[in-house]
Chains A and B, each alone.
Chain A
């Protein structure tokens, strides 16, 4: 019965109206998340928006006041141990037992997760920790602690990875390496990744879908295509006869011209604009088209706009 339910579940994570308060502070005010299987889901929000509380609820570290979280088709209440054995995670900061070595830290996790003895060396290799394996975890740099945390999360070959700021503290080469690793995990092993981050550029590059949480509410949830569409602010149209082109676009097609620049570049508002129609009309009028491109605001500006930032 449980297996059937799991097989039917489309979502790796599904939350319904999650609410959580700490005293007078309302950390979550009804979060409804849907994370599809085998996708990378970027969970964005400002400090205190509710990201970590959501992750803690997903891992059973905190109980919601209201609502429910289903993970891989069931709740922690129904099958805590079975579910947790399929989740790899690290929360908030990379931590480890400082007086024991990297290898021993992984050995502790391996025993408690019930993973195979070979998994420790596999994880060390996978995360490039070989030269630090016998070093005390307390002496590692932040970036290597982060690698150790990811190695620990992957040790038991989980089906779902929940990562809080996975590239925090990594150098640019390390970020690329981890990004590639996460992509490989999804592509080759069918793992679902739920990651929270402040690093908008990283989420933009990596995530298949993005959820933006603000003041305890999910204010936007969209995939890469929707994000591209929503972040388009205008179109740039390059022509060899800007004066005639402006007349056609404005007077005949009813578009709003919001800017002009030297070299025959017109900036047209996105509202009502059909790029194909514009191109046909201009070419049909014998005007040479040198450029037709969407101008986006980028995830950062979009995020700031949604969360009431200054930008």
Chain B
């Protein structure tokens, strides 16, 4: 019952939050620009009149088909790159704001298990990301339909959606250490450093043979090959990669709980 109350309270804390609205606006803008680039690529004459934007669009869609398969795969790749970043930002805000706004000391002395707050915050972050995911799926479908892209099939869209779900879950998992970093550094800067740092690390390891063992690169691998290749229901990741991602998530949660339970909270 207390755990449910803690969860309800976490949702209540989000009311009228500007950050929520900004996150949805930013995500919607991302969906729009991918669709806009697709439109430019489909209309080379228009691309020329758009100058740099046209070049950017061609670069984004370079090597991809001007159809549903290409459009969905670009969405997946960007989702893999931005998923970790967005997950990190959301977790950083949910955990870090308690320290920035000075409210952590209020809830840490409540007659309720402190782990409950960590669990509730993780669930709220997951729900937030799930809502963004729904926006992505709906927005991508709507934009693709409005662009009248060729090659639509329910099976293809279902496959892309399944991969997107899979990537989102992995992104969230590898971002979970942010919860602990936000607590330990009492704010947003530590988590932001983590988010930016992991992007560099992911990029670095993607060029090495260690890619399947680096948690943040595994997410990129999970985006899988393009749909014109031998698309399967999920990219084949080895058990080691699964283990790494799961261990990263578990470590993040355990450290976050350990911190609120054991560390001095001399905020």
Residues of A at under 8 Å CB distance from B?
22, 53, 56, 59-63, 80-85, 87, 89-93, 95-100, 104, 107-109, 111-114, 136, 152
Contact = CB atoms under 8 A, between A and B. Distances in A.
Contacts of B9: 108, 111-112
Contacts of A91: 105-106, 109
B103 interface: yes
B112 A97 contact: no
Given A82-B111, A114-B2, A95 B101 contact: yes
A113 B9 CA distance: 11
Contacts of B266: 22, 53, 56, 61-62
B107 A112 contact: yes
A84 B111 contact: yes
Interface string B82-111: 000000000000000000011101111111
A81 B108 contact: no
Contacts of B5: 111-112, 114
A100 B13 contact: yes
B101 A98 contact: yes
- Dominant secondary structure of chain A at its interface with chain B: mixed
B207 interface: no
A95 B112 contact: no
30 contacts: A22-B266, A56-B105, A56-B265, A59-B109, A61-B108, A61-B264, A63-B264, A81-B112, A82-B111, A89-B109, A91-B105, A92-B105, A95-B102, A95-B106, A97-B13, A98-B101, A99-B17, A100-B12, A100-B13, A104-B12, A108-B13, A109-B106, A111-B5, A111-B8, A111-B9, A112-B2, A112-B5, A112-B9, A112-B107, A112-B112
The interface centre, meaning the residue of B15, B103, B106 with most chain A CB atoms within 10 A of its CB, is B106
A95 B8 CA distance: 20
B109 A61 contact: yes
B111 A99 contact: no
Interface of B: 2, 5-6, 8-9, 12-13, 15-18, 101-103, 105-113, 264-267
A82 B112 CA distance: 10
- Dominant secondary structure of chain B at its interface with chain A: loop
A92 B266 CA distance: 11
A255 B252 CA distance: 74
A81 B121 CA distance: 21
Nearest to A57: B264
Contacts of B15: 99-100, 104
Contacts of B109: 59-61, 84, 87, 89, 91
Given A56-B266, A61-B109, A99-B16, A112 B101 contact: no
A107 B12 CA distance: 9
Listed from nearest, the 10 A-B pairs whose CB atoms lie closest are: A95-B102, A85-B111, A84-B111, A59-B109, A111-B5, A81-B111, A61-B265, A62-B264, A108-B9, A112-B110
Given A100-B13, A112-B2, 14 more contacts: A61-B265, A82-B111, A83-B111, A84-B110, A89-B109, A92-B102, A93-B102, A95-B101, A97-B101, A108-B13, A111-B5, A111-B8, A111-B9, A112-B9
B265 A95 contact: no
A245 B121 CA distance: 78
A100 B12 CA distance: 8
Contact of A113 (B8, B103, B111): B111
Contacts of B102: 92-93, 95
B97 to A, nearest CB: 8
A24 to B, nearest CB: 15
A62 B265 contact: yes
A182 to B, nearest CB: 20
Contacts of B105: 56, 59, 61, 91-92, 95
Nearest to B108: A61
Contacts of B267: 61
Contacts of A82: 111
A271 B102 CA distance: 50
Given A61-B266, A112-B5, A80 B111 contact: yes
Contacts of A84: 109-111
Nearest to A164: B105
Nearest to A53: B266
A114 B9 CA distance: 12
